[in-house]
Amino acid sequence: MSPLILVIDDEKLLAKQLEKALSLEGYSVVSAFTGEEGIEFAKKETPDLILVDLKLPDTDGLEVLKNISKIEPSPATIMMTAHGSVEVAVSAIKLGAYDFIEKPFPIDKLKITIRNALNTLELRSNLSTATMRERGKYGFNSLVGESEPINEIIHLFQKLADTDPKTILITGESGTGKGLAAKILHLNGVRAEKPFIELNCAAIPETLLESELFGYEAGAFTDAKKMKKGIFELAHRGTIFLDEIGDMSLSLQAKLVKVIEERTFRRIGGTRDITIDARVIAATNRDIKDLINKKLFREDLYHRLNVISFEMPQLRRRKEDIPILTDHFVDHFNNELHRKITIIPEEVRQAFLNYNWPGNVRELRSTIERAVLLSDGEKLNPRYAQLDEESGNTEIKLEKSDNSLILEIPIEDISLTKIEEKVIKEALSLNDWNQTRTAEMLGVTREVLRYRMKKMGLLD
């Protein structure tokens, strides 16, 4: 279907000339000779583009623009006038006009402007469609579960969706869904149609990380052949997700503090400040306060990031969600891998409930993906859903309670070597593999703990 263009101009001769010239370009063109008539037509027919004159017999073009801006989907608009001025142009652009053209104008210039405006409209439409598709994929219900910890997180996200906090800190073990949380916050917030750029601070060497963050000017260093924008510039008005921020060097942390405080930075080799408006979401699976005590993380950066903070819950702390997640991932991989698994044996469900899940939801997802892929027929084969009992067996339980250790050991599992290994692994897991805290918890020196870990192959 050809794009529909509405011309609103009281000069009937010009309107007819535009109708003829633009029809030859393949557009459908109609004219209105007053502002009221044009607004009524626009509301009823929703044209793709509107050419509106500044001076109309019953109103002015700026007033028409105000009314048109309320129409959904919003058409592209171009202001025409013989009374051009910078002030009018600025007002028109602020009200949403794509461009401003002074009479008399060459028809070829108008055709180019219209073509560019319609291309921009199409890009905006495609972006909106893509955003809606992503929003459907990363809605609040993408946090699967009905446990209290998950309901609390969803409730928090729903609150944040209507606001625009400039910094958010997400903590939690690996595999708990920190990256998913960042995408949900972005796609359901006010910045949804703007860029979302993710950077893993642990995956990029420090020498490259600064240029990735801030960009560089041509000639800033040997291989800088041309200017490159960093993610802070590229994510203007959008969201930057800095994953594993606990691994960022102190020198870069200092620069990040300045950017978050002042919302300005300079490219490497640059001489001018660049102002940006970007939300920063940072995530880490490390104990930030412990890093601060060890002088490995700047306290001022922590306070800048900690405006809104929350911890993604471990899977072992919300075991009632495991059956729900299991069904969810089986359905997902049935669709993705063209399988028809409908039966999940009770022994598999029970094993999943008894397992400790050190890799959290990510590990559960990978386990089910493997089992669905390798199973034949409609039944999930328990053989392919086997778990690493050595790292996740919860038959032996170790928890902290009032500065004490609570240890539960089944009678059939009394083997000193086996119990020692499981206790050490569980204690390490409870302390995020921090050796100093684990040693304190177990009542041994760090050297003794490391000796035991080395014998068990846990230091490789």
Residue 240: exposure state from Cβ atoms within 10 A (0-12, 13-18, ≥19): buried
Angle separating helix axes 435-442 and 446-455, nearest 10 degrees: 100
Q: Which fold has domain 397-455?
A: Arc Repressor Mutant, subunit A (1.10.10)
| Rounded Cα distance, 112 and 98, in Å | 13
According to the model, what pLDDT value does residue 314 have?
94
Residues of the chain with CATH 1.10.8.60: 315-392
> Which one-letter amino acid corresponds to residue 222?
T
Backbone angles phi, psi at 331, to 5 degrees: -60, -45
Residues of the chain with CATH 3.40.50.2300: 4-131
Domain spanning 4-131 has what CATH number?
Answer: 3.40.50.2300
Domain spanning 315-392 has what CATH number?
Answer: 1.10.8.60
According to the model, what pLDDT value does residue 452 have?
81
Mean pLDDT in each 10-residue stretch from start to end of the chain (460 residues)?
88 90 91 91 89 88 85 84 69 80 87 88 63 70 92 93 91 94 91 89 86 90 86 93 93 94 92 92 93 94 94 94 96 93 93 91 94 93 80 49 56 62 80 84 82 75
Residues of the chain with CATH 1.10.10.60: 397-455
Considering the entire predicted model, what is its pTM? 0.62
According to the model, what pLDDT value does residue 296 have?
92
According to the model, what pLDDT value does residue 32 have?
92
According to the model, what pLDDT value does residue 392 have?
47
> Which one-letter amino acid corresponds to residue 210?
E
According to the model, what pLDDT value does residue 394 have?
44
According to the model, what pLDDT value does residue 1 have?
65
According to the model, what pLDDT value does residue 436 have?
86
Specify the CATH class of 144-311 in words: alpha beta
Residues of the chain with CATH 3.40.50.300: 144-311
Residue 317: exposure state from Cβ atoms within 10 A (0-12, 13-18, ≥19): middle
Please, are residues 137 and 171 in contact by the beta-carbon 8 Å criterion? no
According to the model, what pLDDT value does residue 183 have?
93
According to the model, what pLDDT value does residue 393 have?
46
According to the model, what pLDDT value does residue 85 have?
64
